């Protein structure tokens, strides 16, 4: 009898330990992306040619799928035909400086950059656009670039390779690039041209990271079938498709979220000054997080979406 009692006690100990360990801190974390999404994609374009038929075709494909995107505009190239940008109303318009050709072979002095970036910013704002992001022509930037963008009140830069998550450069957020897809859209490589796109996208999804689509509008226009196929491919995955500005806004809000675990309770505090909607909790369990508004599951991982968290407030949920 004594031996049986020992065996029963040991079994109960193992069972209780398993129950306690099922909600350990290592297994419950903040998700990287909102609304239960596993990874994120931002569609970005370098917009150099004021060709309305090109912009209409691209914007039409995006609107048909109800997708946002970011168009980095070289403002000086549109000064004689600003009406061409009307096709892009409703999408995010970002700054690609005043004249791209001015950046080739020119020292990146603070004075030069301030003139180029500020002139483009003013021109865009005069026409009702509100640029909050910047991409440097030829991806040429330095510390002065960041200081100027901070002075202008921009929230992000998108001129750097290569990372799977946004990261800080001072007060700015960097939205890192993935690949330049212009290099793959040519007559010699069309048979495999988009393969690197899908390889890198798959890697970003495995890392629950960000994939930045990056190409020129004229190249996309010439390869609309490939472009729309890619849009449909990623839209069918558990991916958040957002503009670069939306990505930056979310990542900055996420920095203000704090996750605390206490037994079966999950507490999330919003230390920021704005409400946060779509906060997602990730855990490897078949349990349900009571109070979640939505739970998505992907290969044994649960992504639970929480109710909106007000500024300087806490929300408590329980397994």
pLDDT tens digits, 101-127:
999 988 999 999 999 999 999 999 999
What average pLDDT score do residues 65-90 get?
A: 96
pLDDT value at residue 70: 98
Q: At 193, is the pLDDT very low, low, confident or very high (cuts 50, 70, 90)?
A: low
Model confidence over 218-257: pLDDT tens digits? 999 998 988 998 999 999 999 999 999 999 999 999 999 9
CATH number for the domain harbouring residue 201: 3.20.20.370
Model confidence over 300-310: pLDDT tens digits? 899 999 999 99
Query: Are 270 and 238 in a shared domain?
Result: no
Cα 65 from chain centroid? 18
Q: H or E segment at 47?
A: strand 39-47
The rounded distance, in Å, linking the Cα atoms of 218 and 216 is 6
Q: At 199, is the pLDDT very low, low, confident or very high (cuts 50, 70, 90)?
A: confident
Which of 33-37, 272-276, 288-292 is least confident?
288-292
Query: Are 211 and 82 in a shared domain?
Result: yes
Q: Is the confidence at residue 74, as pLDDT, over 70?
A: yes
Question: Which pTM does this prediction carry?
Answer: 0.88
End-of-domain residue from the set 250, 284, 299: 250
155: left (phi over 0), alpha (psi -120 to 50) or beta: alpha
Q: Is 272 exposed, middle or buried (0-12, 13-18, 19+ CB in 10 A)?
A: middle
Q: Is the confidence at residue 293, as pLDDT, over 80?
A: yes
The rounded distance, in Å, linking the Cα atoms of 164 and 155 is 19
The answer to whether position 308 is within a domain reads yes
Total number of domains constituting the chain: 2
Q: Is the confidence at residue 40, as pLDDT, over 50?
A: yes
The rounded distance, in Å, linking the Cα atoms of 235 and 59 is 16
Query: Are 162 and 297 in a shared domain?
Result: no
The answer to whether position 10 is within a domain reads no
Q: Is the confidence at residue 20, as pLDDT, over 80?
A: no
Q: At 269, is the pLDDT very low, low, confident or very high (cuts 50, 70, 90)?
A: very high
Q: Is the confidence at residue 194, as pLDDT, over 70?
A: no
End-of-domain residue from the set 250, 280, 308: 250
* Torsions phi, psi for 215 (to 5 deg): -160, 165
Query: Are 244 and 282 in a shared domain?
Result: no
Average pLDDT value over all residues in the chain: 89
């Amino acid at each position: 009898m004594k031996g049986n009692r020992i065996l029963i006690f040991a079994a109960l100990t193992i069972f209780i330990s398993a129950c306690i360990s099922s909600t350990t801190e290592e297994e419950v974390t903040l998700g990287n992306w909102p609304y239960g999404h596993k990874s994120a994609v931002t569609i970005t374009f370098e917009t150099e040619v004021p060709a309305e038929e090109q912009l209409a075709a691209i914007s039409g494909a995006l609107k048909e799928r109800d997708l946002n995107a970011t168009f980095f505009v070289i403002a000086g190239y549109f000064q004689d035909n600003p009406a061409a940008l009307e096709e892009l109303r409703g999408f995010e318009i970002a700054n690609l400086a005043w004249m791209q050709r001015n950046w080739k072979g020119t020292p990146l002095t603070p004075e030069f950059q301030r003139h180029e970036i500020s002139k483009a910013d003013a021109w865009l704002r005069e026409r009702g656009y509100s640029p909050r992001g910047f991409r440097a022509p030829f991806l040429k930037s330095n510390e002065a670039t960041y200081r100027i963008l901070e002075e202008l009140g921009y929230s992000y830069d998108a001129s750097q390779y290569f990372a799977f998550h946004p990261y800080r450069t001072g007060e700015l957020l960097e939205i890192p690039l993935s690949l330049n897809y212009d290099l793959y859209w040519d007559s010699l490589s069309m048979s495999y041209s988009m393969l690197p796109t899908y390889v890198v996208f798959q890697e970003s999804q495995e890392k629950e990271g960000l994939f930045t689509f990056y190409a020129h509008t004229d190249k996309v226009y010439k390869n609309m079938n490939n472009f729309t196929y890619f849009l449909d491919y990623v839209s069918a995955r558990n991916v958040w498709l957002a503009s670069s500005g939306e990505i930056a806004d979310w990542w900055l809000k996420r920095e203000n979220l704090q996750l605390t675990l206490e037994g079966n309770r999950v507490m999330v505090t919003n230390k920021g000054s704005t409400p946060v909607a779509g906060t997602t909790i990730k855990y490897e369990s078949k349990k349900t997080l009571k109070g979640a508004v939505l739970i998505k599951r992907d290969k044994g991982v649960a992504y639970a979406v929480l109710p909106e968290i007000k500024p300087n407030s806490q929300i408590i949920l329980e397994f």
